[in-house]
């Protein structure tokens, strides 16, 4: 599905007026992982680009991370929780089965006016969320919204599985989007895709309705994330390349017009291979997986926030956010920041 304006400028644009991120203070290094499973700093670094990841303590939950990132985004937008009309939390590690993680964020931010929900699209959740808000703002139904990507993946990590435990980390990122009438700046284009036939490539199967907590599991590992790394690796490169090309075509942009590709941080080699195929120079590709690992829905907003804070993206620059993950799902947003 594409959110496109077919050459007509919409009356309203969804503009990012605030952004923030938050990661737990506790760190887990590759060397520490090498004491837990048969791996090494050298293997993890060369195969993934990851050096260290942030991990939550027992008392740090997804809603807590989401709220901390949101406070920063709201402060930058000079808005108060009470101003918010919509809160979306993209996550696959929610606070509870129900109510939504977003309900807890709403409570913490005193966002009484907002309607709120969680969005489950794994690593693509944040770009899906921006696309939804884009629709509501462009149609004039919404003045402002908060979109958050927040994860505590280390709580569903199998610390005995070296193929997956080295990959993931915890964190949150958030953006405030506001309706502006200047016609140019804002989300220019969004595209979203899914392929449910490949659900087995990445999953965490218990405890939902298929494997309820009341029934003994045939495989106790079903409570953890399971990945088919090679399949994901190949699909990710293919889908990122085709999605970025689609975005550039749809917006009539060239690589020269693009200031930065902010990709979901799943593996530095995946991002670099996709960038090479797109002939994107290194300085237009942001990578921070070395410090965070893969934080699923949180990874794009954390990377975006860092990119701006490091001065790599400035107001008026064209930025492309792209994500790929479980479902399978993938999607992108083109933003004139």
- Give the range of 56-64, 111-119, 190-198, 223-231 binding ligand UT7 by CB under 6 A: 223-231
- Are 298 and 171 in contact by the 8 Å Cβ rule? The answer is yes
Instruction: Kindly state the smallest distance separating residue 299's Cβ from ligand UT7, in Å.
Output: 8
Quick one: 100 or 294, whose CB is closer to ligand UT7? 294
DSSP label at 8?
A: P
**Calpha distance 163→84 (Å, rounded):** 41
Of 30, 123, 267, 307, the active-site residue reads 123
272 binds ligand UT7 (CB under 6 A): no
Quick one: 13 or 53, whose CB is closer to ligand UT7? 53
Q: By Cβ distance, which residue is nearest to ligand UT7?
A: 229
Instruction: Kindly state the smallest distance separating residue 48's Cβ from ligand UT7, in Å.
Output: 5
> Which among 2, 14, 324 is positioned nearest to 183, based on CA atoms?
14
Which x/- pattern, by CB under 6 A, does the window 10-49 give for ligand UT7?
Answer: -----------------------------x---x---xx-
- Are 93 and 85 in contact by the 8 Å Cβ rule? The answer is no
Instruction: Kindly state the smallest distance separating residue 230's Cβ from ligand UT7, in Å.
Output: 5
Quick one: 135 or 288, whose CB is closer to ligand UT7? 288
Report which secondary-structure segment, H or E, holds 248.
Answer: helix 229-250
Q: What is the SS3 assignment for 17?
A: strand
Q: State how far Cα 115 lies from the chain centre.
A: 21
Q: Clarify whether 123 is annotated catalytic.
A: yes
Q: How far apart are the first and last CA of the chain?
A: 23
Number of C-beta neighbours around residue 255 at 10 A: 13
303 binds ligand UT7 (CB under 6 A): no
| Span 308-337, contacts to ligand UT7 by CB under 6 A | 325
* Catalytic machinery residues: 123, 264, 294
């Amino acid at each position: 599905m594409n959110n496109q304006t077919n050459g007509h400028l919409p009356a309203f644009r969804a503009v990012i007026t605030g952004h923030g991120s938050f990661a737990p203070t506790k760190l887990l290094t590759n060397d520490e992982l090498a004491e837990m499973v048969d791996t090494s700093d050298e293997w993890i670094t060369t195969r993934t680009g990851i050096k260290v990841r942030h991990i939550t303590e027992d008392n740090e939950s997804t809603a807590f991370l989401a709220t901390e990132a949101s406070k920063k985004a709201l402060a930058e937008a000079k808005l108060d929780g009470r101003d918010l009309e919509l809160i979306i939390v993209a996550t696959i590690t929610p606070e509870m089965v129900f109510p939504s993680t977003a309900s807890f964020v709403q409570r913490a931010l005193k966002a009484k006016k907002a309607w709120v929900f969680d969005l489950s699209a794994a690593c693509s959740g944040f770009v899906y969320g921006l696309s939804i808000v884009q629709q509501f703002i462009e149609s004039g139904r919404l003045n402002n919204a908060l979109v958050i990507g927040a994860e505590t993946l280390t709580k569903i990590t199998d610390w005995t599985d070296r193929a997956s435990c080295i990959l993931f980390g915890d964190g949150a990122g958030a953006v405030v989007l506001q309706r502006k009438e200047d016609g140019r700046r804002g989300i220019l284009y969004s595209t979203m895709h899914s392929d449910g036939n490949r659900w087995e490539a990445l999953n965490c199967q218990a405890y939902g309705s298929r494997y309820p907590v009341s029934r003994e599991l045939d495989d106790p590992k079903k409570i953890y994330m399971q990945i088919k790394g090679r399949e994901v690796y190949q699909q990710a490169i293919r889908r990122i390349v085709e999605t970025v090309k689609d975005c550039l075509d749809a917006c009539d942009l060239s690589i020269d017009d693009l200031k930065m590709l902010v990709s979901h941080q799943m593996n530095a080699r995946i991002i670099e291979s996709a960038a090479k195929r797109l002939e994107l120079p290194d300085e237009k590709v942001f990578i921070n997986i070395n410090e965070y690992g893969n934080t699923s829905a949180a990874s794009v907003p954390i990377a975006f926030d860092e990119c701006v804070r490091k001065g790599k993206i400035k107001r008026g620059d064209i930025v492309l956010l792209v994500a790929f993950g479980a479902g399978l799902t993938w999607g992108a947003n083109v933003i004139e920041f």
